[in-house]
Every structure is written in structure tokens, then in C-alpha cells.
Structure 1
Amino acid sequence: MGREQTIARPDIDAVAASLAGQRFQVDDHYEVGREKVREFARAVQNQHSAHQHEADAHALGYPGIIAPPTFASVVGMTGTRALLDSVLADYDLSQFLQTDQVFETYRPILAGDRLRSEMVIESIRQFGDNDFIVVRFALINQHDEVTVVGSTTIVARRGAEADAHLADVIENIMMHGRPAESDPTHRDELVPLGVSPLTEPVEHRIAPVHTVPAFDDFAPGDLLPVGSFQLTRGDLANYAGVSGDANPIHFSDHAAQVAGLPTVVAHGMLTMGLAGGYLTTWLGDPTAIRKFSVRFSGFVPIAADAASTVEFTGRIKSLDPNTRTAAILLGATSDGRKLFGRALAEVRLR
């Protein structure tokens, strides 16, 4: 086969210039329900009792049950979908994937929080036939406190270059019944705020951590115990429903194969959620994760009749005695396949 040539798109510079730095706010707020937190914790196998019981959250210093470390992705899904439906409508939604995800937690998300979402399109860059779109976001609660700041990098193709066969497959097996499809007036609308930065987080006092491991017990290079999780197609179906990520490559062999995958694969954000559970099981306190970032580099294939195992490892990269925080490098594999290109967590220790 000859070398595939990249066709330059002169319009991408104009698109990037017009959108970079634009800030938007989702018109409606997101109300964090207690049962939603519990369902999400089960979906990502985060077993800490503070995700389920108020008394255990109170013991950590918080008035409501605590959402798992990656719960912000559920809230962010609403804003991302609105962005792709409107501002980035030229992109083909059947052919996009997520490559990087970062969460910085300034205050844990709690059941009962009313969160408003802001987003800034940070950059759009072309590599080959794909555009890499970086979106930063902030979630602000009812007390005007920034709870989480993060960024998402997605890779997408403009609609004119979409695979028509794949688009037909997706259309025929995709979940239906979204409000935007039946009544466009009820879609989550974005309010443009012009070229401006996100609301800045303020370092406010949060409850002290109650971790099992102590800061003074570690040195750089120390290893965390290995952790493992099982994933079945039932887990994928459950996560799709709870998270709102209903991409059919996670439940349909036909869609996966048309997309060039060997079989159904797990959501990248599901594997990141499992990694969050791995960390909090070791920490003993889900509020101890200050920053969590992952670059996705592989996928977990899930057979129709057998579970797949995902294994996690961790190593202390560095320690900061002033803040009593540790930087932890995480590894994730499934059947010898590396899942993360780079994953790093910054955690507070007692």
C-alpha cells in the first residue's frame, strides 16, 4: 500500500482562531442526587462507604455523601454534548475519541450540590486528518465555590470527512429518546460569555484528610499494592447508562468492528474511574485525591461471555513535605495491554 497523504485543510486555522479562548456556560445547573452518586460509585466499583452512607461522609467532615473522584465527568458530559451539538457541530460525532482527561479537585462534590458548568475552548490543532480539541472546564457549586477544574482532549474529524458507512451504523443502533432529538427547545443550551478565562478557583479551607497511609511512612520510589478489577459487558452497559456515554462501540460488536476494533471495548473514563477506586481503597479517604490526570493509550476488550481483568499499580514519584502531598505514577494493564500512556495523581496524606 502506498503512503497515505494528509490533505491540509486551510480552514482549520480560521476555525481555531475564531473559537480559541471562547468561554461558555451551560444554561441550566446540574443538581447532584444522592442516588446518582451511589449508582455512579457502583458503576466504577468505588467501594468507599462515604459514597453510600451519610454517617461515613460526616466522619470525614462533609454534610452529604461524597461523589467518587471521576464523578465530574457525568456533569461534564452535559456540557460536552451541548458543545458538540452546537459550537462544534461541524464535527462527526460518530468518529471522535478522548485522549486525555484531567481533574483538579478544590472541594469534593457532594450529594445536594447545585453545579453550574463553564467551558473554554483552549485550542484546536490539526494532526493529519484529525483535529485535537482541548476544552477546559470549571464546576461551581451553589456557594460560588469552584469544586473541580479540569480539561478534556478529544480527537475528531469534520463531518465532510466522515465515514458514511460508520455514520449509518451508529444511527441505526444508537440510543434514542434524548430530549434534544424529540424537542430541540429542551436541549441544554450554552450561553456564550466571549473570550474570557474560567472562574478562578480560590483555595478555601477543606476538611483534613483521614488517610490510612501516613506521609512520613513513604519515600520516592515506594510501590503501592497491586489492585485488580473485573469488567463484563454488564458493567459496560451499566456505566453507559449511569454516565450518559452511550457510544455503541461499548456494547455493539457490529459498531466496534466497523470502527476498526476487534470487539466491544470498555469506556476510557470507566478505566479511569476504576483507577480512582484503586487509589481511594489504598488511601481510605476519597477526598484525599487533589489532582488526577490520565492519557489514554489502550483499550480493554470485553468478550461476550467472559470477564476481563484490569490491573493497577502505583509508585511514589515525589513527596512534598510542605503540603504533605505525594505524586503517584499509576500503571494500568489488561491482558498485557497498556491502558495509560501517562497517569499521575497528587494525593494528600495525613
Structure 2
Amino acid sequence: MVEAAFDVAGLVGQRYRAADYYEVGREKIREYARAVQDFHPVHWSEAAAGELGYAGLVAPTTFISTAAMIANRRLLETLMTGYDMFVQTDQVFEMYKPVLTGDRLVSDVELSSVRRIAGKDLLTITNTFTDQTGDVVQVMHTTVVGITSEDVDADISDTIERVIMSGLDTTAQTAGAPADVDALPGSDPEATTAVRLSPVSRTRVPRTALRFEDIAVGDELPARTVHLTRGDLVNYAGVSGDANPIHWHDEVATLAGLPDVIAHGMLTMGLGAGFVTGWLGDPGAVIRYGVRLSNYTVIEAAAAGDVEFTGRIKSVDAETRTAAVVIVAKSAGRKVFGLATADIRLP
């Protein structure tokens, strides 16, 4: 096993604030909702959003990952230079305020944890998003495995360079010594993460299809099956900014040791979130969503792939009128989610 070409554990705590804000666009919300097949009206219609008390279109649960892709690029490509690629394993979203059209989000980025398990580095990146009011609206924790050249075919880097979208710089991923975070434009290693959490998601009265008295531990959500094609993967890659060719190029997927092209982990998470919010009736009622990936969804060129979602109420809290929902996702008989839960609030 070839270890990273630097002491990655020594970088824990490195942080910076993204150089520019991310403005949430009306059409971007719609594009993302289409990409994760989430047709809840609040993502598409201002009138429908207004009926639930929102001042604009509501971003889907996992939408903020698109802003994180931009904010994290400096960390992954300038500091994490000892790896050839990254594979996502865990994702946690903490919601403090619904993200709406017109919000201007600034991300503080931190390498918050490094663990070495079975000879591989597990890296956790924390994004703390504040809006134009200065309140924290969401906190996102992403855990990835750092993959070195020892784990993949030696030709994969050249192949990626040949097929990747023009204008994306991938050379930093195979460079030698990492640049110091001080050299990153717009970064500030001494910047402190904002700590003023918005109270909205925990004080607003949800307008869900169900009341707390309507649910009980063990209740099952209506099952949903989603069909995914290669076109869906290409579309999600473009909308989300995740251009990793293992999701759309057969040769790269093979060189990475995969049986075929696979769906994005974040795409399956987005589908799972929509499965829950469609049942809830109010996406703003989700206050936490966490997924551990245990397998992947293979999408063959000649046929669509299916992901089957089921869920049940795991626990309830009468004092806070909240509940935990366990989500199961399966593809070709394999569990895609090792563990997935959504914490929800009900009126």
C-alpha cells in the first residue's frame, strides 16, 4: 500500500473561507430537483412554496452539495495532493434553515478528521454554510476515502486526462508536496467557523401531510422505485459539478476496478431524501439527513438501473414532536445504504 505523499493527519484543522459566495438560483433549484427526480411542487412553483410559508423556491435536501463541490475544490486539489481520486463513504446534512431562491451562501471549509482504517485514509470535510444574514443555514460533513495509485490501474490518470471536461485542472491530484493553505486565494487558516445557528428549522411550524399523532414506531413509508439511465448520470454530473468519469465512462470505471459505470453516491442520497420529503409533504421539516454508503448502483449501457426505497419510523420524541426515519435503498438485490436516517419535525 502506497501511503499519501505527506502527513495528511497533520492537516487536520486546516480551514478556510471560500473566496466568493454561492447565489442560489431559481433555475438551478429546478435543474437539481429534476436531476434527483424530486418533483415536490415547492422546488418548482413559487405559488406552491408560498402555500407552505416559503418566500421562494425551496432547494432540495442535498442541493447544498453543489455549492460544496465548488468550495472544496481548493482543499481536494491543492492540499490533498497525495491521492489519485476520492470515493465517498458517508454524508451528513444538518439543517438549520431552509435554503431558498436568492440566498447567498458562504462556506467555511475544514478538514475536520482523518482516520486510517484497513490501510486507507478516511478524510472528513466539514462545510459550514452561512447566508446573507450571517446565520448558519446548513452544516455538511463529507467523508471520503483517499485512493492512491496502488489501488487503481496505472493508466487511469492518463485516461482521465483524455476524457475529462475541458477546463478542469486535474494535475494537482498527482502533484508532489502540498501547497500551504496560506497560498490559497481568498483563504484564511485562522478564520473561525460561524457558530450562530439559525433557529428557523427548529422553531418554524412544519406544514407536513401528517401530524405527530398520526405516526408510531414501526410505521412504514410507501415504497418507491426509481429508474436511472446513463443519461441520468450524465445529467447529474453536469448539474452537480461532479465530473468524475467513473459515473459515465466505461473505460475509466474499469480501470478503477468497478464492474461498470456506477451512479453517484450523492445522486442516490438525493433520491432517498426526496423519497422522505415526498411522504412528509414539507421538505423544510427535515432537520438532519445522514447516509453511509455500503455499495453502489451499477448502470449498464443497455438497460436502466433500479433503486428501491423503503422506510420506517425508528423512534419518536413526543416532547420535541420529532421522529427518526430509517431509509433502505437497494439495487439489484444489494443494499446501497449501509445506514441512512432522516430526523423530521411534525406539527
CA distance in 2, matches of 1:260, 1:8: 19
Q: Higher mean Cα deviation, 156-165 or 43-52?
A: 156-165
Contact 1:21 1:197 (8 Å CA) reproduced: no
Alignment of 1:94-243 (within 5 A): 95-158=85-148, 163-178=153-168, 189-194=185-190, 198-206=193-201, 207-243=204-240
1:228-286 CA deviation, whole Å, 9 max, x = no partner?
11111111111000000011111111111111111111000000000011011100111
Q: Is the 8 A contact 1:120 1:197 kept in 2?
A: no
> What's the Cα RMSD here?
2.1
Sequence identity (%)? 47
**For the residues of structure 2 that align with 1:180 and 1:163, how far apart are their CA atoms?**
17
For 1:85, the equivalent position in structure 2 comes to 77
Task: Give the drift of 1:88.
Answer: 1.8
2:33 — aligned with what?
41
Q: TM-score, normalised by structure 2?
A: 0.90
Q: 1:164 to 1:108 in 2, by over 3 A?
A: same
AA matched with 2:56: G
Amino acid paired to 1:78: I
Distance 1:189 1:311, change over 3 A: farther
Q: Structure 1: 5+ residue runs without aligned partners?
A: 1-5, 182-187
**Residues 16, 108 of structure 2: 8 Å contact kept:** yes
Match of 1:345 among 337, 342, 345: 342
The normalised TM-score by structure 1 is 0.90
In structure 1, distance between residues paired with 2:21 and 2:90: 25
Counterpart of 1:191 in 2: which secondary structure?
Answer: coil
Alpha-carbon deviations, 1:165-192, whole Å to 9, x = none? 11111111111124899xxxxxx94502
Aligned to 1:266: 263
Is residue 53 from structure 1 mapped to residue 48 from structure 2 by the alignment?
no
The reply on whether 1:280 has 2:277 as its aligned counterpart is yes
Which residue in the other structure is 2:174 paired with? none
- The letter for the 1-side match of 2:136 is V
Secondary structure of residue in 2 paired with 1:100: strand
The aligned amino acid for 2:75 is L
> What secondary structure is seen at the aligned counterpart in 2 of 1:91?
coil
Alpha carbons of structure 1 residues 209 and 29: separation in structure 2 relative to 1, 3 Å: same
Greater mean alpha carbon deviation, residues 160-169 or residues 240-249: 160-169
Tell me which of 312, 315, 322 is aligned to 1:315: 312
The Cα shift of 1:162 comes to 6.6
Q: CA deviation at 1:89?
A: 2.5
Which sits farther off after the overlay, 314-323 or 35-44? 314-323
CA distance in structure 2 between the aligned counterparts of 1:244 and 1:223, rounded to whole angstroms:
34
